[in-house]
Amino acid sequence: MLKPRALSPGDRLGIVAPASSFKRDEFDAGIGEIRRLGFVPVYDESVFARHANGYVAGSPELRAAAIHHAWTDPSIAGVIGVRGGYGSAQVLPLLDPHVARRACKPFIGYSDLTAILSFLTMGCEVVAFHGPMLAGRLGKGEAGYDRASFERALRVPEPLGELAPPGLSTIRGGEARGMLLGGSVTQLLASLGTPYAFDPPAGYVLFFEEVGERPYRLDRMVTQLRQANLLTRASAVVIGELNRCDEPSGEPTARGVMADVLADFPGPVVFGFPSGHTTGPAMTLPLGVDCRVVADARPRLVIEEAAVQ
């Protein structure tokens, strides 16, 4: 895996909108936080484009061109998305993996941008970052994202080390190592059968998260992961908070369903890792680096490899 250069104060970050459009006030709030972090946000008017269909930010060509520009502009050190929603898969055929690999810049996003994170980690063999975007996360300041993991992952050429957030719990005990890969489970599954399919190596650690999906849908998703042999390849599973995924009546819960459908998984399974769609500050996870999952009375994810150089 290629590792991007570590970001430094004063670096310019390219702002891109690969998926849905957004509210200008949320954008402006996110830009303000990027500046407070010591970076210089870089964007042009194309980021505010709205496709006639109303649910994506400009045409696929326009969105892909903005990403390519950020990759090829030598003055831009990294790239971060504005928001998720829908649309990232539309730009994949327009992205050049050779350009992405030559650029080797940090790319930060989650949710629908999982499609691009997988494109980078598996299609280009470049480390990418499951981390906060402008709208809804950076725009809320440190109530919306975990600044410590964001800065350590992107600025420090050392392993993140032990991550043991308070809400993390053990579903199946054990310990395992592997390359950390994943993201939004909806997007991972949507990629199957395409040239951009989620296709991890044997022994990887699967991280997945989701928001607003009822328990039976989560069951269906994990069942598909199993039937697609993606669970078979995994040495461990790290599950997000699954925010707003419990049944409205209270039962079944998302955690209960995960415990049921993963009852025969042979490796460790932990639940409640706060990255992506979280109820509190979202942590940043580097994808494409080696990690260790320890599922015991004090469950933890240990990032054992630096994500930047």
Task: Evaluate whether 221 touches 231 at the Cβ level (below 8 Å).
Answer: no
Q: Could you report the per-residue pLDDT of 264-285, keeping only the tens digit for each? A: 999 999 999 999 999 999 999 9
**Between vectors from CA 150 to CA 296 and to CA 63, what angle results, nearest 5°?**
120
Catalogue the active-site residues. Answer: 111, 209, 277
Q: How far apart are the first and last CA of the chain?
A: 12
Domains of the chain: 12-155 (3.40.50.10740), 161-303 (3.50.30.60)
The DSSP secondary-structure symbol of 53 reads: T
Q: Tell me, what DSSP letter sits at residue 55?
A: S
For the stretch 130-167, pLDDT in tens is 999 999 999 999 999 999 999 999 999 999 999 999 99
Distances (CA, A) of 297 to 150, 169, 174, 292: 26, 8, 11, 16
Per-residue pLDDT reduced to its tens digit, 173-200: 999 999 999 999 999 999 999 999 999 9
Only one residue has tokens 């831009």, namely 76
pLDDT, tens digit, 9 for 90 and up, residues 196-232: 999 999 999 999 999 999 999 999 999 999 999 999 9
- Whole-number Å distance between alpha carbons of 212 and 88: 19
Q: At a CB cut-off of 8 Å and minimum separation 6, what does 11 contact?
A: 39, 40, 77, 78
Query: Residues 92-107: what's their mean pLDDT?
Result: 98
pLDDT higher than threshold 90 for residue 52: no
The 10 Å Cβ neighbour count of residue 251 is 9
Task: Name the percent of the chain lying above pLDDT 90.
Answer: 99
Amino acid 295: pLDDT = 98
Contact 162, 300 (CB under 8 A): yes
Residue 232 gets the label, from left (phi > 0), alpha (psi -120 to 50) or beta, of alpha
Rounded to the nearest integer, the mean pLDDT of the chain is 97
Residue that the structure tokens 């030559």 belong to: 102
Tell me how far apart the alpha carbons of residues 67 and 64 are, in angstroms, rounded to a whole number: 5
Instruction: Label residue 256 by pLDDT band (50, 70, 90).
Output: very high
Chain centroid, CA 209 distance in Å: 9
pLDDT band at 64 (very low <50, low <70, confident <90, very high): very high
- DSSP assignment, residue 80? E
Return phi, psi of residue 288, to 5°. 100, 10
